[in-house]
A = this chain, B = another copy of it.
Amino acid sequence: MTSILVLTGSPSAASRTAALLGHLADRWRSDGHDVHSIAVRNLPAEALLSADATHPEITTVTEAIAAADGIVVASPVYKAAYSGVLKVLLDLLPQYAFAGKTVLPLATGGTSAHVLAIDYAMRPVLNSLGAHHIVQGYFVLDRLITVTADGVALDEHAERELTAIVDEFSMVIHRDDRLITAS
């Protein structure tokens, strides 16, 4: 079984980013992946701000990343880039923490004017972590996400596009897994 780790960089527990990622996790589980999620805002704040990579909760994250086949990196767009909350965690990881991993970048934001933040801001950082394959990412406008009692409802067109993106990510992980198993 392949495993996916979801890292979310929203400073808010009740964020649309978080609700959206819960929705996608269900999809990947029904696709046969083992899915774990880490919200950076729940990690110890002092350890993150002082770059303490030896803190037990941080080493747990590093081990979870090492164990995963696929990594989803999700962030709201603030000030034309990924959130600082996401970046304080990435800064603490070993230099090539994403070596051998398939990575899916996702972003949410209030205006479509921020779409390119994925390719110009997030990808260079994910690439510097040695990612094997960063698949096409996706940007979801906040107003297309409705948080409901039992999860999240997405605008129909965005749902269709996002489904194609997450299925491609899922396919790439399965494919690489089969190859490794076969060889």
- Report if A90 contacts B (CB, 8 A): yes
Main secondary structure of the interface of A (DSSP, over half): helix
- Report if A164 contacts B (CB, 8 A): no
A84 CB contacts on chain B under 8 angstroms: 48, 84-91
Interface size on A, residues (CB 8 A): 49
A135 CB contacts on chain B under 8 angstroms: 133
Q: Which residues of A in the span 1-53 have a Cβ within 8 Å of any Cβ on B?
A: 11-12, 40-41, 45-46, 48-51
- Report if A127 contacts B (CB, 8 A): yes
- What CA separation (Å) do A93 and B89 show in the bound complex? 21
A88 CB contacts on chain B under 8 angstroms: 49, 83-85, 87-88
CB distance from A175 to the nearest CB of B (A): 6
Nearest 9 interchain pairs by C-beta: A84-B87, A84-B88, A11-B51, A45-B45, A120-B120, A80-B128, A113-B115, A116-B116, A119-B124
- Inter-chain pairs besides A87-B87, A113-B116, 8 sampled, C-beta below 8 Å: A12-B51, A41-B49, A45-B48, A45-B49, A49-B88, A81-B124, A112-B112, A133-B133
